[in-house]
């Protein structure tokens, strides 16, 4: 099925998900399965540095397959987040859609378990 027509939707559900990046691998934060019949409008993506001592870096990408697979297109790459601060990567003014068979991926390339990620999105279905 193609992405739903967002003018005549049947269901709109708000969702918030969060995780700590436990390793330095790319982590799928929001994944939309193939043939889900839904689109996800990412309304907020916040990355927080919980380290007490170091600036930590992150990459955020939109991947062309679900579960972090496929090719990635960076929304941001290698952006430093100061100790004890947060970075708003996406908000309502810069929202992106994760359509069928796509995923939103975050990576902490330098150090594990110091970045918390919170994503809020609207699940839109026909």
Q: Which domains does the chain have, with CATH numbers?
A: 11-125 (2.60.120.1330)
Beta carbons of 83 and 49 less than 8 angstroms apart:
yes
Sequence-distant (≥ 6) Cβ neighbours of residue 93 within 8 angstroms:
none
pTM for this predicted structure: 0.92
* 10-residue stretch averages of pLDDT, the chain, 126 residues long: 71 96 97 94 98 96 96 97 97 96 97 97 92
DSSP-derived pairing of the beta strands 38-49 and 115-125: antiparallel
Measure the CA–CA gap between 66 and 105, rounded to whole angstroms. 10
């Amino acid at each position: 099925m193609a992405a739903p027509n967002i003018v005549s939707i049947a269901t709109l559900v708000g969702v918030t998900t969060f995780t700590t990046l436990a390793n330095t691998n790319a982590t799928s934060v929001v994944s939309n399965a193939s043939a889900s019949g839904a689109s996800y409008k990412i309304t907020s993506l916040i990355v927080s540095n919980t380290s007490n001592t170091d600036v930590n870096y992150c990459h955020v990408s939109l991947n062309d397959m679900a579960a972090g697979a496929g090719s990635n297109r960076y929304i941001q790459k290698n952006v430093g987040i100061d100790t004890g601060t947060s970075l708003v990567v996406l908000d309502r003014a810069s929202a992106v859609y994760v359509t069928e068979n796509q995923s939103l991926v975050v990576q902490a390339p330098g150090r594990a378990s110091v970045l918390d990620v919170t994503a809020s999105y609207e699940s839109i279905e026909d």
